[in-house]
Structure 1
């Protein structure tokens, strides 16, 4: 994006006058660099075969480097020029800048300290050759009704440093004099690299289009920045990198954005930390390629919040047999091109730290490829999917709490191996999709089409997972594999869905699984499992909160659980269940143990009624009040069994 521009006669004269100065250290006092600091966010590549899924980490150090000049906001001990704004004009003390009416033009690399108020005018950085300009805002207010208030037209890099203890304001008008394709579109606009640092405050009013926008790399390494924008808040075309800043954005478009869609190696966002309060009409944070977050505190509201999400009917209508046979009905009138996601990337998302509160009209976290959550704390309320990725999702750590969603977690391949994951969904809780799943790249129906072939599957290898769903609890149009962790499901009350729903197999070899739900489409794990399971079907619906306890012949509790909703089937699988052991199922009563999401631990169950006793002779045992029974096959859908009342 390096361009040559015609100089004004005044600028040429100025250049000639200071030619010798340009050869001195004052020509570019910011040119030297120290070894770069690198971000700590990680990229994670998901690799899968037909029975397991693992993650391979690689660092993001090649993505972003912060030089000394990016991080250094000092200027007092550096030779500098001062620009004092005086209403409709300015006074310059020092070299390198000129004033022409209400326009200040910086023509040489160097440090420029700006203070005062320019009620109608512009500061332009327009260098003859590449260099670095540090523009120190030291209590400055700049307004330009007809274009960008600060415009870096030609420079290797422009650094805006916010002097500690100062308030600075930059604003534009709601219409520009020049609106060509290559003309500026933001209150602060840079054709080249742009860095913002310092400990002061900056308020940007982007009344025409964007608040802050750069056509190359944009870095924010400090400051308290508030942006109000008619479209996007903060945009870096090739890259947006942020560390340890406080950023507040109210934007009719996207909050934070990187836009390069022509180069796969660009268009990414890397955030190391900071405090973010983002309210966006469209996406909160949107990367054209990758989004890497390793820390920070985030409050994100998009599209007016989850209350404005598309209204959808239940995906599986009456008589459906565990597959997505009917399209969900949407009553939203929003255009298909609109997107109001919390975090969004067209390629990959990696979250390795941070605290997130996301209230989104659309998906809260959405990747068009893969998504990894390795650490952090997330509180999600979504008008569509809580977490969605087209290719794969891997949750290896952190705490994820999805308190409202249409479908909670959805992808072709989902692996959960650590952390805590809590899901509340009005349709499926955790869904390995097949067919037309009604979620989409833009958050509207009918756009994502998942294949039922390939490496689709749900892998539960560790961690703590709870699901509360109106539709299927754990739903895989492929298979489910469980090797460890604790999973509890409060499944559907309607008979057209099941707490467990899979088309291939459900092989369980470890961990604690509890699933309660309706009877019409109920499934247990597959018989090829190496860890035993029991499916109990009651003759009538049990009231919500009625405890189920399973004990062995010595009185040891295998599991004690109080379903949150009414239920007619109960599935349990535990390493403590053994074939040829004798087990008794109790109902009602109380427990002195500690209750967490319905699961009791470290206590004594007492006062319940003995319902049935059985000795499992195979990996899956089906029970009713009369004892061991047999389940009929699930209608040719493969793998497991569905019970019949």
Structure 2
């Protein structure tokens, strides 16, 4: 497996983890400073928000509506295998020509009838183009092809058993092309030894090794036992037209440097390394895997199918097991485990564009999901993950500081300063630990299907049980058809840049995160996702944020530019100071711009000060933030969202299809914005208040389709006020049991929308074209009417059991009903 230079998952996870810790520590320190600043809270808050385009008071927030920027929907490329590969007529030739040379193998020698081949020292060397029919047994020798002719060499295996103890039993040193035909009704075996006598180039490296294009056709069978390294390797193109091929390899199964193309056939691979791979990383037009059809059973210690550039699947039936399956997936350290009961900091609904309060999935749950056997039968249990010992501290269960009181102590002796998170470890600073992490990540890729540039699925039935991502691309992933059945210990579908699903069926039975990319577009298809963390995660492609790596410019890009005060996009001064603190700490961790440590006021106490941050402005913002936070804490305590981090560029766009998500983390998570113009989306969100069924940092603009979510209340969000379609968000006083049906009925008693959540919940959100401004509606739970209200004035109407409210009233919540 070729090692990659990207550690995308590790970098993104560490960046999110650090940001969460800084926000948490900053908020605790802000609360601890509240008592000393309470007398000036009202004045400071007013002064701080004066420069914002919106207006702000202690109890309410009014921000200017901003148009949602929705990028053009990512359209599938439309590429198929036909765009990549066209075979020659000779690649389909399976019959012997009239002038074919016959080679009868006899243990340690051979009898040759015809021209172009000679036998010596237990081996046969073919020196001219033409057709050669081989049969018999070769106990310890080689079939060598070494010709300067441009015409092809056609080898017909008519029942052979080839063994070479110290080299490749079939070794193509030079030829224009080699066609290897498996004669009808024959069984052919090729076996090598555990050690090779290599040439100066380190060749050969496979039991069947070709330095020329290699095509395999015919209807017979071929069994390759590769004890040294790879099963079948071509240093140019490897084409499989037909045949039954079984490979057991000490390293990789099938390797084609310039390409691997499979048109049909039945292929079984058991490889300690990768199953099928193409490795050319020097030519953007090569290094791809294209599969038009066939039946594949692949068990691989590392990646199942890997293309250095593209992987395109038009059809076929696949059963892929990598890294021992999803139960052997990586242990995931949760970002801010446990949840906060009331969820987040500050009162009321989390403002649009603001960053959510720190929170994560404390217990990812068992997430029952199937492993896959050869028949597609399902059984097994998902990887539950484990929290790392160095994870950020969480508030003890039920803890909530008194108004103006002292926040609870950090558990486990955790320091309340930034030093513990400043990257001061000498090995990290030198880049040693980062290099070790990269090596570990590179050597441990156990993905189902992986592409370096673009992964396209146009059709086929693909069953994946992978320890690592099921379908992964360092660029784009496109699904335009097919039936995907996925069990994974990490992401189900992951594209570093774009993920597009236009048609087909995607059934994610168990995963850590379901769908992940910077730009996610769902235009069609039937998608079901079960995730122990986020169901759908639109997040920006990672930058160099690991300790000790990256340049100052990369640090700035990863952390953002420090602000000197609030802007119109921010909702309060505390948010601005929090973002400023987070930015500076992020840079300090990168180890490129931070130069020393200094303490400031409120949230700036956790900032490792640097010359790239405007310290005076940070200090001033912190003063105002302290006063504002004091007033908020006195009025609301722990409640809704935290707000303040600028929205990223990530985008989730839904224009069609059916999407159902069951997530223990966030259901739909966009580190940017969400736009929905069509389709049907149902989200069964988390039961803990540290995550939400919806989580977006920018806006959620809905203008079509049907959206239904159910989940916890502490971090609940609904579509934005800029939306053209109305929404209703209902928060229950007590937790509702799983299986409780919730109906939204109009004034005639007709059900406008309904949901029966599969797990406990306190908040439901309905958005439908059937909702009308001025209409009167009733929410019923368990067939009992709970509240009746009239939609008026707001795009999203928040209600609880008392009637219309000004926002999410989740808070701590009551007991299970």
Aligned counterpart for 2:468 among listed residues 362, 378, 393: 362
Q: Deviations over 1:180-232 (max 9, x none)?
A: 43411000000010000011000001110100001001100000000000000
Contact 1:193 1:217 in 2 (8 A): yes
Aligned to 2:88: 67
Structure 2 residue 580 is matched with structure 1 residue 404: no
Aligned to 1:126: 146
Aligned counterpart for 1:298 among listed residues 309, 313, 318: 318
Aligned counterpart for 2:791 among listed residues 609, 616, 630: 616
Cα displacement (A) at 1:74: 1.9
Contact 1:463 1:486 in 2 (8 A): yes
Structure 2 residue 749 is matched with structure 1 residue 555: yes
Mapped to 2, the partners of 1:176 and 1:324 lie a distance apart of 56
Secondary structure, in 3 states, of the residue corresponding to 1:492? coil
Q: How does 1:568-587 map to 2 (within 5 A)?
A: 568-587=762-781
Aligned counterpart for 1:289 among listed residues 300, 303, 309: 309
Cα displacement (A) at 1:325: 8.0
Contact 1:300 1:359 in 2 (8 A): yes
Q: How does 1:429-508 map to 2 (within 5 A)?
A: 429-434=535-540, 455-508=649-702
Structure 2 residue 275 is matched with structure 1 residue 255: yes
- The count of corresponding residues between Structure 1 and Structure 2 is 563
Cα displacement (A) at 1:171: 1.1
Q: How does 1:69-108 map to 2 (within 5 A)?
A: 69-75=90-96, 77-108=97-128
Contact 1:130 1:154 in 2 (8 A): no
Aligned counterpart for 1:171 among listed residues 176, 191, 203: 191
Aligned to 2:256: 236
Mapped to 1, the partners of 2:241 and 2:73 lie a distance apart of 37
Mapped to 2, the partners of 1:323 and 1:386 lie a distance apart of 27
Cα displacement (A) at 1:179: 5.3
Pick closer, same or farther for the CA change 1:477–1:455 going to 2, 3 Å. closer
Aligned to 1:637: none
Aligned counterpart for 2:494 among listed residues 368, 388, 392: 388
Mapped to 2, the partners of 1:429 and 1:615 lie a distance apart of 33
Mapped to 2, the partners of 1:485 and 1:101 lie a distance apart of 70
Aligned to 2:534: 428
Cα displacement (A) at 1:393: 0.2
TM-score, normalised relative to structure 2: 0.66
Q: How does 1:170-189 map to 2 (within 5 A)?
A: 170-178=190-198, 180-189=200-209
Structure 2 residue 739 is matched with structure 1 residue 545: yes
Aligned to 1:591: none
Cα displacement (A) at 1:324: 7.5
For structure 1, the 5+ residue unaligned runs are 1-47, 441-447, 589-607, 633-640
Aligned to 1:202: 222
Q: Which has the higher helix share?
A: 2
Secondary structure, in 3 states, of the residue corresponding to 2:730? strand
Secondary structure, in 3 states, of the residue corresponding to 2:465? strand
Mapped to 1, the partners of 2:232 and 2:357 lie a distance apart of 47
Cα displacement (A) at 1:73: 1.3
Cα displacement (A) at 1:129: 2.7
Contact 1:51 1:481 in 2 (8 A): no
Mapped to 2, the partners of 1:54 and 1:209 lie a distance apart of 41
Contact 2:666 2:691 in 1 (8 A): yes
Cα displacement (A) at 1:450: 11
Contact 2:309 2:451 in 1 (8 A): yes
Secondary structure, in 3 states, of the residue corresponding to 1:307? helix
For structure 2, the 5+ residue unaligned runs are 1-67, 345-354, 362-385, 390-435, 547-556, 561-645
Contact 1:115 1:138 in 2 (8 A): yes
Mapped to 1, the partners of 2:811 and 2:102 lie a distance apart of 81
Aligned to 1:40: none
Q: How does 1:505-524 map to 2 (within 5 A)?
A: 505-524=699-718
Secondary structure, in 3 states, of the residue corresponding to 2:94? coil
Contact 2:129 2:147 in 1 (8 A): yes
Q: Deviations over 1:409-460 (max 9, x none)?
A: 10100000100010000000000124869999xxxxxxx9899877520001
Pick closer, same or farther for the CA change 1:165–1:261 going to 2, 3 Å. same
Contact 2:326 2:468 in 1 (8 A): yes
Pick closer, same or farther for the CA change 1:49–1:171 going to 2, 3 Å. farther
Structure 2 residue 75 is matched with structure 1 residue 55: yes
Aligned to 1:322: 356
Structure 2 residue 734 is matched with structure 1 residue 528: no
Mapped to 2, the partners of 1:261 and 1:399 lie a distance apart of 32
Contact 1:490 1:564 in 2 (8 A): yes
Structure 2 residue 455 is matched with structure 1 residue 349: yes
Cα displacement (A) at 1:131: 2.0
Aligned to 2:632: none
Mapped to 2, the partners of 1:236 and 1:425 lie a distance apart of 35
Contact 2:484 2:505 in 1 (8 A): yes
Mapped to 2, the partners of 1:560 and 1:578 lie a distance apart of 17
Secondary structure, in 3 states, of the residue corresponding to 2:90? helix
Q: Considering only aligned residues, what root-mean-square deviation do their CA atoms show, in Å?
A: 2.5
Mapped to 1, the partners of 2:811 and 2:718 lie a distance apart of 9
Pick closer, same or farther for the CA change 1:585–1:67 going to 2, 3 Å. same
Secondary structure, in 3 states, of the residue corresponding to 1:336? helix
Structure 2 residue 626 is matched with structure 1 residue 626: no
Q: How does 1:208-227 map to 2 (within 5 A)?
A: 208-227=228-247
Q: Which has the higher strand share?
A: 1
Aligned counterpart for 2:519 among listed residues 405, 413, 421: 413
Mapped to 2, the partners of 1:406 and 1:274 lie a distance apart of 30
Secondary structure, in 3 states, of the residue corresponding to 1:277? strand
Aligned to 2:212: 192
Secondary structure, in 3 states, of the residue corresponding to 1:335? helix
Q: How does 1:4-15 map to 2 (within 5 A)?
A: none
